[in-house]
Amino acid sequence: MGQRNIDHNEERFSYLGDDKMIYIYNCYGGTHSSALAAAYHLKKLPLDREPTDKEILSIDVFNKLTSKDMGKLIFHGYDEEKNEVYTLGRGSSKVVVPAMYDLAELLNKKGELQTKILFSNTSPTVPLAMTIGGFFSRRLKINVIGVPLLIIGAKQAHKDIIKLVEQTKNSAKVTTSKIEILDNDFGK
C-alpha cells in the first residue's frame, strides 16, 4: 500500500502539547459543510453576518475536493489558541472516524498521543440545497446548477455551522477525554 502524502512538518507539531487540541471537522465529502466549519473556526468567514457568495467561494477547499480526497486529513490552519484545524471527507463510510479514533486511542495507551483530538461531525448542519448542490457539482460535474445551490445551502446553514463550531470549541474546553467524537445531532 502506498504512503499518504500528508504535509506534517515539524513546525506544525511544535505547538502541540497536553493543553492543545486537534480539531477534525468531518462530513461526507470534506469540501462543503466541514470546509465551512473550519473557515468559521479560523475566523476566515464572518461570525456576525451571512457570508457573501465571494467569501464562500474563496474558502480554500470549498467545492474543490474529489472522491480521491476522501479519507485524507486536510490542514486548514491554527486557531487563536494555536490549535490545529483539519477537515476530513469520510464518504458514506461509517467506519472512518471510529477507525481514526481507535488508532488515536492506541497511540494514547502507548503514551504517544501528546494532544487532545476532537472529531466533530458537520453533516447535521447540511440543508437540502447543499446536498443537491453537492451532488450536481461534485458527482455530475454540472457546476452551473450545483454551485448556486451550494451557495444557497451555505447561507441557509451559516447559523447552524457557527453554532456547531461554538459547541465544538466549548466541548473541547470541558472534556476530560484525550479523544472525543461529537455527532452533533442538534435539532436535525
pLDDT at 178 over 70: yes
State pLDDT tens for residues 22-56. 999 999 999 999 999 999 999 999 999 999 999 99
CA geometry: angle 106, 112, 118, nearest 5 deg: 70
pTM of the entire structure?
0.88
Q: Where are the domains of the chain?
A: 19-124+158-182
Amino acid at position 43, single letter: K
Rounded average pLDDT over 98-111: 93
Residue-by-residue DSSP string for 49-101: SPPPHHHHHTSTTTTT--GGGTT-EEEEEE-TTS-EEEEEE-TT-SSHHHHHH
Band (122; pLDDT cuts 50, 70, 90): very high
The whole-number pLDDT of residue 71 equals: 93
The overall average pLDDT reported for the chain is 90
Measuring CA to CA, which residue among 42, 23, 36 is closest to residue 62?
A: 36
